[in-house]
Every structure is written in C-alpha cells, then in structure tokens.
Structure 1
Amino acid sequence: MDKKLSVEEIIRNFEAEKAKNLDTVPETKKEETNEGKTAIIQRYTKNTFSTKYQVTIGTEFSLKELRWDLSTILKVHFWDIAGQERTGAVTRQFYKSSHGIILVCDASRSKTYSGLVKWIGNLKQYVLQFDGTPVPIFLLINKCDLPSPSVNVKSLNSLCLDYELDAWYMTSAKIDVNIGEAMFHVIKRALKVKRDADRYASLYTITEENILLHDERTHLPSGRHSRSKRCCDFK
C-alpha cells in the first residue's frame, strides 16, 4: 500500500502542475484566506455572488430550506468556520456536532492546500458519529473559473484515498460550477449520518414508557423470598 502524501509533497505536486502553464496567476501577499467558503455557501443558499466578502472571523451561520423528496423538507444549517489557525480553539465547539464537513481550497493558490492534512486530522479527532467513526468530509477546489488552476488530479485522488475523504469537486462560486452537485452529495451523506444517529438514540434512550421495574423480591419455589437488586427491562 502506498504511503500517505506529506503536506510538502502535496504542495510540490500542485506547484509542478501549475508550472506547466506559462500564464500563471501571480501570488498575492495577503493572508492565505479567501478560498471561497462564504461565496460557496451564499451561492448555494441564496444563488448570489459578491466580490466584496470579508474574511470570516470565528463562525458565521446560514440556512437553506429545501424539499428533499415528496415527504421530506430539510432545513440545512451551514456553519461557516474561519480557516485561520488562531481561531481553531474557538470554532471547534461549533463544528464538533456537525453531520458533514466541507473543506475548501483555492484552485489558483497552492498554498491554500498546506493546511489540509492538519484540518483533516483535527476533524477526524473531534467530529465523530455515534459509533466513533468520522463524519463525511468533502473537499471543494474553488475558483476553477480562474486561469491556471494549480490542480493535480492524481494528488487529489491520493489525498482522498489516503485520508478517507468522501469526494472532491472542482467548483466555482462565481459562475456556479458544480456547487449544486457537490452540495447534493454532501447533504445526502449528512442526512444519512443524522438519521442513523437518531435511530441509534431512539433505541437506547431511557424513558418512562420503555422501562419496566421488577419487584425487589424474587419468589422462590419454597415460598421464601430472596432480596435482589432492582433492574430494568427495555421494551
């Protein structure tokens, strides 16, 4: 089995792919933010796009209501988490009860891939299903509409395989590429996680209606009584 790619190898692969195209996009000196998390959420929830989004500080919240099937209307809650390392301890409390995770990178800036492995490790430690397994994680490579995207398909496939991500998609919030398709699969997996958790909770939640209390005394054939501990039976 092939070994997992290191962060340096992932970046090197993406840089090599980007170098193949002479029309490269110059790197900016701004803080490595603006991957497009907020733009993706706004595109999906409101079908809008703006070039004036501010850097997310802490956590922002969005909601989309949609009809999933003939008998189901969903209210999907999106927690837009800041990607900066300094906010990690603050934002962790918001995402640890999530049913699905979306990680976003900028297709035009390979440096935005550098935190992926650390984020994945953090999420797999803190965001767990009822059985202790990690929740589904999806990777969106945003801004595919820009020239010279630094995308290495082989590296992305290896990353998803090695770190057990559900899938990755090339997206553009600006011109609405693959946003709906990606969100459909994210919500489908998250809905299964929630329904499995609800089913598990209903089986093991103790209520007055599903408990029978036995008498403390156990009747013996001789007519004598023996003291025993009170116990419970689940219906």
Structure 2
Amino acid sequence: MDILWQYQFRIILLGDSTVGKSSLLKRFTDGIYSDVADPTVGVDFYARSLDIEPGVKIKLQLWDTAGQERFRSITTSYYRNSVGGLLVFDLTNRKTFEHVRDWHKEVSEHILPHHMVYILIGHKSDLNKERKVSRDEAEQLAADLGIRYVETSAKCNSNVDRAFELLTRDIYELMKMGEITTRDGWDGVKSGLTAKVQNVHIFCQICRQCLCILLTLI
C-alpha cells in the first residue's frame, strides 16, 4: 500500500554543474554518498516523505536539474510546476556562488505572476580548508534575496535533512496562512488521501461489490 500523505510538494534543485545537487538528493532520499557522480542529463527525479507535524505527512517530489547551459531549455519547463527551490552553490568554487543571483532571477521571471519558496545552500562544507566563500558573504546574499541560508555536506551528512525540512516547513506554513494554495493545472502543490478518506473509499468499493452480488440474486 502506498504511503498516505496529506500534501505533495514539488521541489526543484538549482545551481551550476558540479555543485553537488545530485549528491544532496541521493543522501537525502537514499542515505548514500558516492565520490563518483555522473553529470545530470536534463532532469532526474527523486522522492521522499516527511512528517511535518503529528498527522501531517508531506510527500516531496524532488527534481534535480542539469546545470549546463545546453540543458537550460529542458529544465526551464519544470520551473512553473515547482513550489520550492534549493539554490545550491559550491563553497569551494566562487563562480558558482556568483551565479546564484542569475539562477534566482531566471526562475523568478519564468514563474511570474506566481512565486517560489527558496532556500540558499552552501554545499561541501566538509572542505573547509578549500573554502572560497565566507559564511558572512553567503548569509548577506540570502538576506538580500529574503531567504534562509544553510551550509551542508552530503559527504559528512551534515545539515542535509535539515535543509529539506526547513524548506518544506516554510512552504507548509505559507499554505496554512493561505499564501500558497493548490491550483488547477499546477503540480507545485497537490492534496493527497488521508487514511480516513482512503478507508471510506475502500468501504464504498465493498458496498458496490455487495450490491452487485445482491442484484445477481434478485
């Protein structure tokens, strides 16, 4: 039986190639890490569920986008159908940090008039000696963009779950406030089946079967 969930959030990972988006997703969804990672071609898909509060399970549909320019026309089609975005840069590669604003601007323009909930991720925090971006700089960028900032390491499994949980909670809180709602033709947020609804559905199925049997006996 499929895991029951109250809502499904579609979240997209954004950032230059080699910043470690795939490593973050594999650590978060499968609990594994590999030093060897093939470049993402187009878009890859992952999934995991989180219990946000008692009785509320959120299914995360996670999309890993290619950072290379030649795949940009493919990945932009996924922007509009996402409610959340992780803006990822490599703490040891300053250019990836400098490109964060470009990613934020590009996505924000593609989803107008709607908005996306972002979180800024400084990845590869385990390589502190090779660091090229200070925490103060990253926190200032996050403040300028009006979003949270978290430093992560897929290799050491540092703050990986926390980053996804913070983004999920931010989206959920905005839903409770009515600032994010489900929309026809939009896959960013979908309502799911609760156990009660599923039980009613199963009961109705049984009732229909009983009715069919009864009609054959009349």
Shift of 1:198: 3.1
Amino acid at match of 1:62: Y
The number of equivalent residue pairs is 166
In the other structure, the counterpart of 2:97 is: 113
Question: Are residue 149 (structure 1) and residue 104 (structure 2) matched?
Answer: no
RMSD: 2.1
1:69 maps to amino acid: E
Task: Kindly indicate whether residue 65 of structure 2 is the aligned counterpart of residue 81 of structure 1.
Answer: yes
**Is the 8 Å Cα contact of residues 172 and 178 (structure 1) preserved in structure 2?**
yes
Give 1:36's match in structure 2, choosing from 20, 29, 35.
20
SS in structure 1 opposite 2:181? Answer: helix
Name the TM-score, length of structure 1 as normaliser.
Answer: 0.64
TM-score after normalising by structure 2? 0.69
Partner in structure 1 of residue 153 of structure 2: 172
Output the amino acid matched with 2:97.
Y
Larger RCO of the pair (alpha carbons < 8 Å, separation 6+): 2
Aligned amino acid, residue 198 of structure 1: T
2 CA distance for matches of 1:70 and 1:156?
A: 34
- Percent identical: 25
The question of 1:66 aligning with 2:50 is answered yes
1:87/1:194 CA distance change after superposition, 3 Å:
farther
Using the TM superposition, give the Cα deviation of residue 38 of structure 1 relative to its aligned residue in structure 2, in angstroms.
0.6
Contact 1:100/1:189 (<8 A) preserved: no
Counterparts of 2:110 and 2:182 in 1: how far apart (Å)?
Answer: 22
- Structure number with greater Rg is 1
Q: Distance in 2 between matches of 1:58 and 1:186?
A: 23
Q: Where do 5+ consecutive residues of structure 2 fail to align?
A: 1-15, 185-218
